[in-house]
Each structure stands twice: as structure tokens, then as C-alpha cells.
Amino acid sequence: MREEVKAKLIQRAAPLFGKKPEELTEDLRFVEDLNAKSVHYSQITTFLEDEFDVEIPYMTFRRKKTIGEAIEYVYDLVENG
């Protein structure tokens, strides 16, 4: 399931940041490396909520510094509610 979360997050994030999916590694930082803005976080969380039928608290998600941290956070929500 973690790989599915990773694939979906990267699927949505890649076009938002003008990157190819293979360029988005788990150690990339949202703000420092990808110049993430509020709209990016909002679009990613909305997409993942629809894909996994889970509520993702926006502000908590936004505090995740790397793609890997975000994957772990969403994976935990999907697995444990």
C-alpha cells in the first residue's frame, strides 16, 4: 500500500511542479527544492483524499518537509485512519 500512496502522490505532484515522475525522489523538499505553494498542497491533498477515501488534515500535511515524509503520513492515515 505504501508504494501505491507513493505512486499516486508523485502522479499528482509531478505535473504541478513541472517535473517528470522519476525526478521526484523521497528526499526532495517541498519548499526548498520544489518551491511549493499553498495551492500545490491543496491540490495534492484533495487528489489523495479522493483516491484513498481518507481525510488528510491540510495543515498537518503541509508541515511535512519532504516527499518521503508526506508519503509516510498519508500511508499511516490510509492504514490506520
Q: 12-62, pLDDT tens digit by residue?
A: 999 999 999 999 999 999 999 999 999 999 999 999 999 999 999 999 999
What's the DSSP call for residue 17?
Answer: T
**All 3 cell numbers of residue 68?**
518521503
pLDDT at 25: 98
User: What's the CA gap between 27 and 47, in Å, rounded?
Assistant: 21
What is the identity of the amino acid at 48?
L
pLDDT at 81: 82
Ordered by where they begin, the domains of the chain are 2-80 (1.10.1200.10)
Asked whether residue 2 carries a pLDDT value surpassing 90, the answer given is yes
Q: Are 34 and 28 in contact (CB under 8 A)?
A: yes
User: What's the CA gap between 75 and 69, in Å, rounded?
Assistant: 10
